[in-house]
Amino acid sequence: VELHDEISTAESLQFDFRTIRVATDNFSIDNKLGEGGFGSVYKGRLSNGQDIAVKRLSTNSKQGIGEFKTEVGVVARLQHKNLVQLLGYCLQKNEKLLVYEFLPNSSLDKVLLDRSKDTSLDWETRYKIITGIAKGLLYLHEDSRLKIIHRDMKSGNILLDESMNPKIADFGLAKHFGVDQTQADTSRILGTYGYMAPEYTRTGRFSIKSDVYSFG
């Protein structure tokens, strides 16, 4: 009940667990798209034919609850063509599920590492991806009703649609800043080493500049 109270989303965003279970063929291994530190992602298809991506948070992860609250609360209020669209969520039977639009071209890191897909990344496409990510970040930092620091910008969190347009994903570590706030501190250094700004790893201080460093 407490978790429900902390999620300020419309009733229309709630999915029934049975609906998601059917859509993913009971979370079939064949529908598994990937696995991260907080759970697994599955492809699904709703009864109306719409493809979805379901993020199933690990039931034994204490961090997962905080991640879930953040991601639903933040993403449900963000609308931009370069952000992954949240379609809904489910909190039933000890399950914490996030339902997103399905993006067929996987994540940018997989495309970059897959030699068979090199031909799809001509310079025009690369430019489109770079500028799209920049526009998404600008929206998060300055143009949205909220001021959001993503804190885990990396190629694995950039998903690509059928036209290779980039969409920023995974807001589990995101932080909401006040209008006049420029930085914050944390004692828990979370994110992905290699992408994190030096001052963040040393002192726990993060800001808009931290995301820009990760993007660069």
Is residue 170 part of the annotated active site? The answer reads no
What whole-number distance in Å separates Cα of residue 41 and Cα of residue 56? 6
CA distance 77 to 146: 8
Residue type at 54? V
81 is in an annotated binding site: no
- Residue 117 CA, chain-centre distance (Å), reads 23
Residue 26, C-beta contacts closer than 8 angstroms, at least 6 positions apart: none
- Judge contact between 145 and 79, C-beta under 8 A: no
In terms of Cα–Cα distance, which of 203, 204, 200 is closest to 214? 200
| Distance set, CA 196 to CA 37, 54, 186, 212 (Å) | 17, 27, 14, 10
Of the candidates 30, 109, 152, 180, the residue annotated as catalytic is 152
Angle of helix 208-215 versus helix 123-138 axis, rounded to 10? 170
Cα–Cα distance between 154 and 48 in angstroms, integer? 33
Amino acid (one-letter) located at 170: D
| Surface-to-core class of residue 8, CB atoms within 10 Å of its CB (0-12 exposed, 13-18 middle, 19+ buried) | exposed
Annotated binding site: 55
Annotated binding site for ATP: 55
Active site residues: 152
